[in-house]
Amino acid sequence: MGCKAVNYELVAGFETHIELATKTKIFCGCTTQFGGEPNTHCCPVCIGLPGTLPKLNRQAVRYAIMAGLATHGEIAEISKMDRKNYCYPDLSKAYQISQLYAPLSIGGYVELSNGRKIRLHHIHIEEDAGKLIHQHGDTYVDYNRGGVPLIEIVSEPDIRSIDEAREYVEKLQQVMRYIGISDCKMQEGSMRCDVNISVRPVGSEKLGTRTEIKNMNSINNIAKAMEYEFERQVDLIESGGQVVQETLRYDDATNTTSSMRSKEDAHDYRYFRDPDLVTINVSKEEVEEIKSTLPELPTEKCNRYVEELSLPEKDAQLLTKYRNISEYFDKACVGVKSPKTVANFIIGQIFSRVETEADKEVFAVAVSPEQLNELVKLLDSGKIRNNLAKSTLEKMLDSGKGALEFLDESDMGGLDENTLNELCRQAVESNPKAVEDYKNGKEKAIKAIVGNVMKNSRGKADAALAESKIKELIG
């Protein structure tokens, strides 16, 4: 950041489009499946041929209500669909059906880790447009995506840094995945952000002129584009120029923004009530019924893990990042003495086999949570030691079999004192260098001798007790 930039404050708000996970489009029965040959997922309704009539998808409305509730919004009892008029090839009927005057969810917020709440203005439902493909100087239109149901989450201009912007998008993505209304795969376009950004002198309350960076589909690119645009606006103001309200595109190859068109306001789209669609009436009873179906949300779950289960906050965040992992952890914890032991096994050994974020989201591991629960309870009861539990879990992960497939009565019998004393004596005699190092002040040398005991006892020895006896023998 340049030295002049420190005198200015970044102000940003987001318009986030999220594709809803319905099986069919918002106003017709065409599939919402990603991909497919161009223009094969379309019908006269979704491309707006004359004489066709749209019919609103009830599941899309239900998903939008879930999004509103999960972000603390107030669900409107009456909401309406409007036509947003603009002529562009990705809209075959020259208007988009959206909501302006009476959106479905009003207000709400997303809370960041620093305690700040990014307020939401509203959430509305709308249809997606088609996709333009530019090749060899020609432009082709694929309407497969046209008519796919979206929600648009509009924030207030409350974001004050690039780190806050990144966390805001990550939190939205996490919550929408948790409640199951979207996969939010930015690389497939099922979550896209328009970033409104302005700058103002530090301490000023007056908002600067904003620009809008359109269709950002990567959190890293959002961060880079915001940094570039912040610097550009500061440089412009410092050199005596003025920021022009306009819509920009971001080029990740050159890390620059460039103008697409002047920035439109709502009146430029000539919104009016859609005459073909009925008013949406959501009763308080229906809102309460939908609220009862929502899962425990990630922030609440993370707080519970820290406060009730005494997990470190970092562990709690790792376990709540994806819903499937947190549900696995919850099942594996039933009736155990130490949830931290379960967390250690998941974050350590299981995560080492589930390396990518996509794999963690699915979390299809060979060992069921019930099998891990059984293993931890054997450890809790003192029937096996930690080292043996770890090696047993590796075998379970390789095979998908339960712990008792790899443990017999002798494994779970523990060691009597005489056997432990003999193993400690043998370990001291067979590791003279480690004994000498320990006597010379190298505390860590004792670990090698304890390791010998654990190996020869097949993990059944109590490591702490063995260390104590070895120290007595060394004198």
201 and 236 share one domain: yes
Mean pLDDT of the residues in the chain: 93
User: What confidence tier does 265 reach under pLDDT thresholds 50, 70, 90?
Assistant: confident
CATH number of the structural domain spanning residue 450? 1.10.10.410
Contact (Cβ atoms closer than 8 angstroms) between residue 89 and residue 272: no
Q: Give the range among 54-63, 329-338, 466-475 with minimum mean pLDDT.
A: 466-475
Calculate the CA 369 to chain-centre distance: 22
From CA 86, how far away is CA 273, in angstroms rounded?
15
Q: Are 233 and 85 in a shared domain?
A: yes
- Is there a single domain that holds both residue 248 and residue 328? no
Rounded-to-10 torsion of CA 415, 418, 419, 422: 140
The Cα–Cα gap between 171 and 37 comes to 33
Is the distance from CB of 90 to CB of 132 less than 8 angstroms?
yes
Determine, yes or no, domain membership for 346: yes
Residues in the chain: 475
Q: Looking at residues 377-381, what average pLDDT do you find?
A: 89
Which residue, of 384, 405, 426, is where some domain finishes?
A: 405
User: Has residue 248 got a pLDDT over 80?
Assistant: yes
Q: Which residues have CB under 8 Å from 188's CB, separation 6+?
A: 34
Average pLDDT over residues 160-188: 95
Is residue 229 over pLDDT 70? Answer: yes
At 26-59, the pLDDT tens digits run 999 999 998 899 999 999 999 999 999 999 999 9
- Domain with 470, as residue range(s), is 417-474
Same domain, 276 and 301: no
Same domain, 322 and 245: no
- 410 within domain boundaries: no
The answer to whether residue 412 is domain-embedded is: no
The reported pLDDT for the residue numbered 420 is 83
| Residue-level pLDDT at 414 | 64
In this predicted structure, what is the pLDDT of residue 410? 64
Distance of CA 277 to the CA centre of its chain: 34
Residue 1 has pLDDT above 90, yes or no: no
Torsion of Cα atoms, 359 then 361 then 364 then 366, to 10°: 80
Domain boundary among 289, 304, 325: 289
DSSP helix/strand/coil, 281:
strand
274 within some domain: yes
Judge whether 280 and 61 are in contact, CB under 8 Å.
yes
- My answer on whether 229 and 276 are in the same domain is yes
Say whether both 40 and 169 belong to one domain: yes
Cβ neighbours of residue 150 closer than 8 Å, sequence gap 6 or more: 17, 18, 19, 20, 26, 125, 126, 127, 128
Classify residue 273: in a domain, yes or no.
Answer: yes
Q: Which of 124-128, 282-286, 411-415 has the weakest average pLDDT?
A: 411-415
Residues 312 and 338 in one domain: yes
pLDDT level of residue 412 (50, 70, 90 thresholds)? low
Work out the pLDDT band at 413, boundaries 50, 70, 90: low
Same domain, 16 and 38: yes
Residue 472, amino acid: E
Q: Which of 272, 289, 306 delimits the end of a domain?
A: 289
**Number of folded domains that form the chain:** 3
Same domain, 300 and 253: no
- Tell whether 239 and 345 lie within a shared domain: no
Residues 257 and 390 in one domain: no
pLDDT band for position 2 (50/70/90)? low
Compute the distance between CA of residue 340 and CA of residue 311 in angstroms, rounded to an integer: 6
Mean pLDDT of 129-146: 93
